[in-house]
Amino acid sequence: MAQKSKEFSRVKFPFEIIQEGYNVFQSSFPKKKGYRFYQGTWRIVYPDHSWNLDSEDQFALEYSKNDIQSASINYTWFDKEAKIFDFNVSYRRDYTEISITLGSIGDIEKVFAVFESNYSKFAQAEKEIQKEIQREKPRYKIDMEIPSVTVSKELLQALENYFFKRVSQVEKIQIPEIQSHYDLFIGDSDGTQTLPTVNDIDSLLFPDNIQWIKLDYSAPYNGNLDISVYFSRHRSLSAVKISYKGENSKNISQGILKDIYKILDDYKANYWMYQYPVRFLGNILVGLLLVFILISKDSLWRWVSVSIILVTSIFLTGTGFVPYSVFDTKRNREVNRWTKFLVEGFIGFIIFSVLGGLLLRLLGLF
C-alpha cells in the first residue's frame, strides 16, 4: 500500500474535476478481486454553520457556492484482505489538499495527474477571487499601550470572557471553536506555561518570580480577527494588539480597544505616576523649590521646601523601582502593605512637622 498527500495553493477544483479524479481512482481496482465500497462522507462548512451531507449530489450543489469556508469529500474502499483504499479532497479558503491511498505509486500518480493538469487553469481563477475578497475586506490594526494595572486572576477572567463573547459576535463562531485558537501564556524566570483558559491556573495568586502574562486569540485559517493583551513589568512591552479584516474594520477594532480599556480601568495601579504632565510638573516643582531654598532666609520655609522636594523626589524615582504591571503575588501584596504604611507614615510626619512648626511660630516659640 502507498499513500500520497499534496496541497494545491490558491485553488478550488470544480466538482467535475474531483469526480474525474475519483473515476481514475476507481479504475485502479482490478476487476473481480472483491473490492467493496465502504463509506463516503461529504462535509460543507459555512461561516456560521456546517453540514454533513448524505450524497455527492447534495455536496456538488453546496460546493458550487462561493460563501463556503471549507469542504471535504472522502471515499473509502477495502478489498477481501481488508486493505484500505482512500480518496480524500479537502478544500480551504486558500488551498486544496488531496490525499490518495492505493496499491501502487503508479496508480496514485494517475489520480494526481488529473489535478495537476487542471491546476494552472483553476488556480488563476481562484487567485482573482481572493484578490476581490481582499479588496472587499480592508484590514485595520491597533498596537496601543495599556495602563498600569494590578494583574489578578479576576482581571484575566474578565478579559477572557470578553474575548470569547466579542469574537463570537464578530466572527459568528461558537465558543468551543474560539477556545481552540485561544491561549493564555504565563512567563516567569523558570520558563513559559501555556494554558487553555484562566480556569486552569491552579492557584489564586501568581508565583513571585512571574515576569509577564499574555492572552492571545489568533484567527483560524478562515478568520479575520486577532486580539492579544500583554502584561509586563516593563512599560514598553505592555500593550494590546488588535487586527481585524472586514467591513467597518476600523470602527470594530476601535470598539474592541475601548471595551478592553474599560475593563482595565477597574484595575489601574500606578498609572498616574507614569503620566508625562505629572512627571513634568513634579520636576518643575523641585526646580522652583531649590531656587526658593537658595534665596530664602526663613529656616521654617526652607525646611518645608526640603520636605516637599524629598517627597516629590521619592515619587519621581519610584517609577524606576515600581513595575508597570503589578502582578497579584504574595510578595507584592506584602510589599504594597508595607509601602502604604511607610508612605502614609512619612507624609504624616512631614505634615505634622510643618504644622507644628507653624504653630510654634504663631505662639512665638520658634
pLDDT digits (tens, 9 = 90+) for 137-180: 688 999 999 988 989 999 999 999 999 999 999 988 888 888 88
- Helices vs. strands in the chain: H and E counts, helices first: 9, 14
CA 274/CA 318 separation, integer angstroms: 10
- Predicted confidence (pLDDT) at residue 278 exceeds the cutoff of 90: no
Average pLDDT in the 17-45 region? Answer: 83
- Predicted confidence (pLDDT) at residue 318 exceeds the cutoff of 60: no
Give the pLDDT confidence score for residue 313 in this predicted structure. 62
- Predicted confidence (pLDDT) at residue 276 exceeds the cutoff of 50: no
Distances (CA, A) of 322 to 57, 263, 274: 67, 22, 10
Give the pLDDT confidence score for residue 112 in this predicted structure. 96
CA 26/CA 21 separation, integer angstroms: 9
pLDDT bracket for residue 213 (50, 70, 90): very high
Query: Of 351, 354, 283, 348, which Cα lies nearest the Cα of 315?
Result: 283
Give the pLDDT confidence score for residue 177 in this predicted structure. 86
CA 8/CA 96 separation, integer angstroms: 5
